[in-house]
């Protein structure tokens, strides 16, 4: 009897010890994540309320928002789909000349950026009690600039002197390259031609906090309608009176960024869909996007027609619907997007986007390998993934060092720096 009681007592002691050990480790993990937040890391973003409670920060919103503002793994899967569309299109242009596969992939990236900008700003407001404009921009700088300038340096190093003499790379350093490409002015090397979209992203990020405030106000509906009308009117006027390229203009994607932000607003406010509705919305959005691929393909550039203008608002609506449907992670499609391979490719998407043109040019020009062949693709895709992995690893290492040694909150120069670069880019644009 005593032996039995002692056995039960020892089991009870072991269970209690494990319980308190797990609780202590959880508490320490929460403290470490809060400390990382104060140092500028994004680790604590998964535990916004526990960090606010332990650090004394004011938390805004309903209690249920603590779970709403966790990371959405399906977004990485959407990034993977978008970058795969771009890689397939640019590496096999001969087979997809009448399909806007890469163009639609870039538009989906912009919609995801709109979603994430609203999502991150809402999370900042919940954690810090207010939106810090410079804090938001500084994190964008840390995320975008290191790999961006490494790619520029690599391309300039590999370029021939004759190529450097006939190109203008100043717009790359002011994030205004898209304006020059739209006006058909002398622009950057072919290996850097894709950086126009990074310029559009940076211009959007500078305006994103103002969009967030407008969408949080009671006039958000009027603001959204105004953006929709102005962006469509701007595209129509540009197509009617200009010989430039509408595809590279910033305001051409205003309603696409807005659609992503509205999807985030709906989700953060507690918007939910039934599983059947999620399937319907996912399938219908994908069907619309596939339809746009064929409609937009032959008419992306001038001369413009109705089929050149309609894809922009249609893609904005379809991408927003896709974001709303995958945010809840309840369907088979969401599970596929959230799978480890898709998340891995999505995490590499930025590096893949920056490096893939350089890989194509190296294979075609240096190795004399014709594109759009099975042999080309057999080397092209693994090479892109390998180089992108190395870039992402180096970028993560740089960001970790920056976040450990730079105080992110309270810095005032990021906004001044970004606006100064845009002004310099604007002056250089009109000078030409």
Domain ranges of the chain: 1-66, 71-431
Mean pLDDT throughout 235-250?
A: 90
Task: Please tell me the predicted confidence (pLDDT) of residue 404.
Answer: 81
Q: pLDDT at position 70, please?
A: 67
Report how far residue 211's alpha carbon sits from residue 327's, in angstroms, rounded to the nearest whole number: 21
Bigger pLDDT: 23 vs 178: 178
Out of 7-21, 65-79, 257-271, 322-336, which region has the weakest mean confidence (pLDDT)? 7-21
Q: Can you give the pLDDT at residue 72?
A: 85
User: What's residue 53's pLDDT?
Assistant: 36
pLDDT over 60 at 317, yes or no: yes
pLDDT of residue 303: 80
- Whole-angstrom Cα distance, residue 32 to residue 18? 21
Q: What's the pLDDT at 189? A: 85
Q: How high does pLDDT run on average in the chain?
A: 83
What's residue 132's pLDDT?
92
pLDDT in tens, 274-305: 999 999 999 999 999 999 988 888 888 888 88
Over the stretch 13-61, which tens digit does the pLDDT of each residue have? 444 444 334 343 443 444 444 434 333 334 333 333 333 333 333 333 3
Band (pLDDT 50/70/90 cuts) for residue 93 is: confident
Residue range 80-106: average pLDDT?
Answer: 91
Rounded to whole angstroms, the Cα distance separating 257 from 27 reads: 38
pLDDT at 392: 95
DSSP of 364-424 = IIIS-PPSSSHHHHHHHHHHHHHHHHHHHHHHHHHHHHHHHHS--TT--HHHHHHHHHHHH
Q: Which residues of 88-115 are buried (b: 16+ CB within 10 A; e: fewer)?
A: bbbbbeeebeebbbbbbbbbbbbbbbbb
- State CA 395 to chain mean position distance: 16
pLDDT per position as a tens digit, 350-397: 999 999 999 999 999 888 898 889 999 999 999 999 999 999 999 999
* Helix 254-268, helix 101-128: angle, nearest 10: 40
Between 224 and 4, name the one with better pLDDT: 224
- Which has more confidence, 102 or 39? 102
pLDDT of 69: 59
* pLDDT of the residue at 45: 37
Output the pLDDT for position 405.
76
């Amino acid at each position: 009897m005593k032996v039995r009681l002692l056995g039960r007592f020892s089991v009870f002691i072991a269970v209690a010890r494990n319980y308190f050990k797990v609780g202590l480790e959880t508490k320490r993990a929460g403290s470490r994540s809060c400390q990382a937040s104060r140092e500028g890391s994004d680790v604590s973003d998964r535990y916004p309320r526990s960090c606010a409670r332990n650090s004394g920060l004011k938390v805004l919103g309903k209690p249920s928002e603590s779970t709403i503002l966790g990371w959405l793994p399906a977004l990485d899967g959407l990034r993977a789909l978008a970058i795969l569309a771009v890689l397939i299109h640019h590496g096999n242009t001969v087979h997809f000349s009448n399909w806007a596969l890469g163009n639609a992939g870039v538009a989906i990236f912009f919609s995801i950026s709109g979603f994430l900008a609203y999502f991150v700003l809402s999370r900042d407001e919940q954690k810090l009690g207010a939106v810090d404009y410079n804090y938001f921009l500084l994190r964008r700088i840390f995320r975008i600039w290191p790999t961006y300038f490494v790619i520029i340096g690599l391309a300039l190093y590999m370029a021939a002197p004759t190529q450097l003499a006939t190109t203008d790379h100043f717009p790359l350093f002011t994030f205004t390259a898209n304006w020059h490409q739209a006006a058909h002015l002398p622009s950057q090397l072919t290996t850097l031609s894709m950086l126009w979209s990074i310029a559009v992203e940076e211009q959007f990020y500078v305006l994103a906090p103002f969009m967030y405030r407008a969408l949080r106000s009671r006039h958000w509906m009027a603001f959204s309608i105004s953006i929709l009308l102005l962006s469509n009117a701007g595209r129509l006027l540009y197509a009617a009176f200009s010989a430039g390229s509408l595809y590279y203009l910033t305001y051409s994607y205003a309603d696409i960024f807005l659609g992503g932000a509205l999807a985030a607003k709906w989700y953060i406010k507690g918007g939910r869909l039934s599983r059947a509705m999620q399937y319907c919305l996912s399938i219908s959005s994908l069907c619309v996007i596939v339809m746009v691929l064929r409609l937009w393909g032959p008419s992306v550039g001038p001369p413009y027609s109705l089929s050149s203008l309609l894809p922009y608002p249609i893609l904005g609506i379809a991408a927003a619907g896709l974001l709303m449907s995958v945010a809840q992670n309840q369907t088979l499609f969401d599970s596929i997007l959230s799978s480890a391979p898709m998340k891995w490719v999505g995490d590499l998407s930025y590096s893949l986007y920056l490096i893939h043109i350089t890989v194509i040019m190296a294979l075609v020009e240096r190795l004399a390998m014709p594109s759009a062949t099975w042999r080309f693709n057999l080397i092209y895709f693994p090479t892109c993934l390998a180089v992108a992995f190395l870039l992402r690893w180096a970028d993560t290492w740089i960001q970790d060092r920056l976040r450990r040694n730079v105080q992110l909150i309270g810095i005032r120069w990021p906004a001044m720096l970004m606006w100064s670069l845009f002004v310099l880019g604007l002056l250089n644009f009109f000078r030409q």
